[in-house]
């Protein structure tokens, strides 16, 4: 079995679309959550989101290409290009058939959906844009990434709601570890900030009216976000041979299904995925120093996730440092796990634990060390990144310092 390392990271995020800006905002707990400005809000109750405000498609695509890509595909392509540059990787004709591309996504091209339905039902148009389906389809992002970079190996989309990005990176890890791919580009993307999508989330009554406060007693719900993160994975031998930078090593991947409620997280299911990741990594609970939690900021999720951590880690939970990135990034659904995996890799690389932003008051039901508001310099040998999705689909990755 090959050892697998992360050699490149690319992000498009509400806190910046370079690694330096992304990381500094996470460390400084500078939130990307703010008033909605990328779409009309007259029909919305929700007034806040974590938006990507510094993204101009014309800077990345010519007019013809831009028209072929929904916003979620644009994010994926730009993040993928950045990850490949960061890894100093040349996807040559020789290596292209041995390179995989896996992209997680929950909602597909929601901007294209909203636009077509508005024309059809709102404006009574007899037709919609002829490229609506190629822009909308959930696999559009990975297809566009493969075409943009000339990737000719295994390429597919994973759609498991909020675990999509983590599932995609975990599956890519397995492809490289077993030798089915020499290199893999993997991550998640989402552009779900449309009137129709937000109205659907409002109906669930899970959205916060002010901000996201994971694990804080005063938490009031999640905040929708958007963005993308892509990572380059390759064997450690391949990376060393070409002198590539290495951020972290992926040790193990665990998955589970709750087989229970369609919305509510099950602590047993979440704990099974964490334990499976530890077993796959051939490591022990006491060896994990940091967990980047799912931490959505809803009353139920954060309490149940705390229980799950205690179930998975036992007595070792008392010494864990745990933080959620969603107070800074919002919840970008299918991209969330990928952005958080990038944050975890950077934490290992810099030996800094990013804090849980917007933390106001400890909750007796969330009684672990959630690193409130201030980053912590600490030795991190191994770390975990967890995602728990609607539908009870759980994915967890374990990583180590390179």
Q: Which residues are catalytic?
A: 162, 294, 331
Interstrand relation of 290-292 and 382-389 (parallel, antiparallel or unpaired): parallel
């Amino acid at each position: 079995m090959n050892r697998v390392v992360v050699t490149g990271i690319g992000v498009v995020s509400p806190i910046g679309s370079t690694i330096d800006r992304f990381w500094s905002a996470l460390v400084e707990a500078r939130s990307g959550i703010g008033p909605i400005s990328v779409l009309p809000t007259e029909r919305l109750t929700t007034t806040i989101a974590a938006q990507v405000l510094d993204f101009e498609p014309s800077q990345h695509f010519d007019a013809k290409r831009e028209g072929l890509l929904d916003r979620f595909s644009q994010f994926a392509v730009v993040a993928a290009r950045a990850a490949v540059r960061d890894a100093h990787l040349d996807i040559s004709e020789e290596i292209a058939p041995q390179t995989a591309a896996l992209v997680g996504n929950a909602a597909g091209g929601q901007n294209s959906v909203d636009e077509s339905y508005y024309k059809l039902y709102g404006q009574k148009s007899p037709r919609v844009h002829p490229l609506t389906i190629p822009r909308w389809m959930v696999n559009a992002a990975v297809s566009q990434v493969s075409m943009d970079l000339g990737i000719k190996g295994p390429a597919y989309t994973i759609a498991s709601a909020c675990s999509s990005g983590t599932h995609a990176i975990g599956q890519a890890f397995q492809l490289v570890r077993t030798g089915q791919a020499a290199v893999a580009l993997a991550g998640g993307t989402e552009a779900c900030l449309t009137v129709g999508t937000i109205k659907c989330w409002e109906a669930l009554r899970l959205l916060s009216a002010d901000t996201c406060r994971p694990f804080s007693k005063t938490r009031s719900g999640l905040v929708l976000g958007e963005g993308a993160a892509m990572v380059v994975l390759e064997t450690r031998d391949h990376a060393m041979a070409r002198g590539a930078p290495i951020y972290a090593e992926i040790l193990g991947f665990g998955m589970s299904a709750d087989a229970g409620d369609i919305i509510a997280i099950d602590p047993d299911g979440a704990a099974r995925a964490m334990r499976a990741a530890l077993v796959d990594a051939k490591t022990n609970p006491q060896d994990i120093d940091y967990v980047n939690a799912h931490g959505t900021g809803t009353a139920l999720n954060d309490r149940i996730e705390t229980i799950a951590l205690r179930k998975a880690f036992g007595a070792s939970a008392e010494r864990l440092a745990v933080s959620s990135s969603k107070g800074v990034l919002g919840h970008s659904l299918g991209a969330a796990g990928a952005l958080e995996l990038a944050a975890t890799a950077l934490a290992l690389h810099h030996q800094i634990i990013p804090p849980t932003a917007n933390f106001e008051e400890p909750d007796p039901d969330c009684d672990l060390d959630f690193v409130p508001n201030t980053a912590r310099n600490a030795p991190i040998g191994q770390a975990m990144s967890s995602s728990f999705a609607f539908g009870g689909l759980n994915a967890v990755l374990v990583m180590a310092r390179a």
